[in-house]
Amino acid sequence: MLTTQETREGEKLVLGLNNLTGRTMVLNRPKALNSLTLPMVQTIQRYLADWEKSDLCDVVMLRSNNRKAFCAGGDVVQVSRDWREGNKAQAMEFFRTEYKVNHHIATYKKPIVAMLDGFTMGGGVGLSVHAPFRVASENAVFAMPETKIGFFPDVGATFFLPRLDGELGVYLGLTGQKLKGRDLLYAGIATHYVPSERHALLEQRLQGLGTSDYDAINLAIEEFVAQPETTESEDFVGVANDVPIDFSLASVRDVIDICFKFNTIEAILQALTEVANQPGPACEWAQKTYAQLNQMSPSSLKLTLEQLRRGAQLDIQKAFEFELVLAGRRLESHDMHEGIDALLVRKTNDAAWDPENVHAVDIKELYSQYFEGEYDSTPLYLGGTSFMEYPHKFGLPTEQEILDVVSGESPQVGNFSLTCGEVIDFFMREYRSKMGVEQKVNWVLSRRTKLKDTDGTLEVIDS
């Protein structure tokens, strides 16, 4: 139950705007980069509930009041303080309410459009990544940096990270690596790329659209997208080449799968060491990534890897329930409070992890602590539907979808051999010539296929 003071605070920090048939939530805590407090999350929860029932609302939008940050995360400093001061119920209420809001966004009965302009991290990812429409700008900066504060990627990361291409989600969840601008589109985080200067016009367009039809909203957003910045290349013809794509991880995309396919942190570190010791373009990346992982809480790394492996088999509802259990147990740890204090309070970035390295983390003890036994907590009681895959697909095709068309495993194509041009044409038709589709399909084909016959048809290269 919200107190009057909390309601007023929440409404001041999350503005609710009505215009025609559009409703917009504006995050309004700029000095804290829109970090979420409990009253803010409770206010978002109330807006969502009210607008979902309103016959006057067709579409809900979520944006920030400035270009520096959409939302830089949850106010974990306050959560840690509450827990250590004995107010454990208040600390858990933040996570419980936040996860309910995230789940509500994922299962919302009306279209939600999240405008990602500026830092989009942690809790900000939870407010956006589950929405059917995620519009990134050149200012967008995505990251899930929780292992650096001794926590784990939450707000539904259990569900969405394992469903990104290959091992990309595991890499992002363990390292906290940042993605910027168009990266979000090609990684599958965003569904559209629209320059920041066009966001206001896009919001006006959606407010006056007068429909809750998802396809109509998608086409309206497509009116504002920007052309890819890279130079067009000739279609891939069967010899691996450097197909231009504006994705910062393009050159190491396959190496990410090679290094992060393992089920132990020790094996991942060993794979990175082997790549780092070999000449080639991935050497520097492997050295940097190894160093990144060594900065993180060792127990958080092992917890996160197991969390994401299990998350691939969980539906959206069970994923959030799982995270609430993990959050409660992680709050009892040394590393979470030490990490928050070192990075966000002292700002010395010198956390004294316990255990101090991954080899000292007893995996059996970690499993017993986080993945076994009963948990004494009020359950989430999530309503709405659940699913194993997001019901709305307005982003670019996944790498697996592209390869399924080549291999004949896609029911939409059947077991027919196709050339590169035919595969690209298929996806351009299916995605209505969506910006970025041709670039991603061409890029995936250049990496993962080869010529099968002299007629130019392709086959998938075994990974």
Active site residues: 74, 123, 146, 154
Q: What does the alpha-carbon distance between residue 426 and residue 458 come to, in Å, rounded to a whole number?
A: 14
The DSSP 8-state label assigned to residue 139 in this structure reads T
Residue 320 contacts residue 102 (beta carbons within 8 Å): yes
Rounded Cα–Cα distance for residues 124 and 62 (Å): 11
Per-residue DSSP letter, 163: G
Asked if 444 and 463 touch (Cβ cutoff 8 Å), the reply is no
Could you tell me which residues are beta bridge partners of residue 449? Answer: 460
SS3 content of the chain, % helix, strand, coil (to 5): 50, 10, 40
CA-CA distance, 156 to 153, in Å (whole number)? 8
Which residue's structure tokens are 């992002």?
172
Whole-angstrom distance, CA of residue 117 vs CA of residue 184 = 12
Residue 139 CA, chain-centre distance (Å), reads 16
Backbone dihedral angles phi then psi of residue 331, each to the nearest 5 degrees: -60, -20
By DSSP bridging, strand 22-27 and strand 141-143 are unpaired
| Tokens 């010529």, residue located | 451
Q: CB–CB of 13/27 below 8 Å? A: yes
Q: Which two tokens stand for residue 304?
A: 């996160």
Token pair belonging to 444: 């995936």
The two three-digit tokens of residue 226, written as one number: 């920007």
CB 380 within 8 A of CB 98: no
Q: Is the omega angle on the peptide bond into residue 298 within 30 degrees of 0, that is, cis?
A: no
CA dihedral (354, 360, 363, 364) in degrees, to 10, reads -90
3-class SS of residue 131: coil
Instruction: Give dist(CA 220, CA 338) in Å, integer.
Output: 46
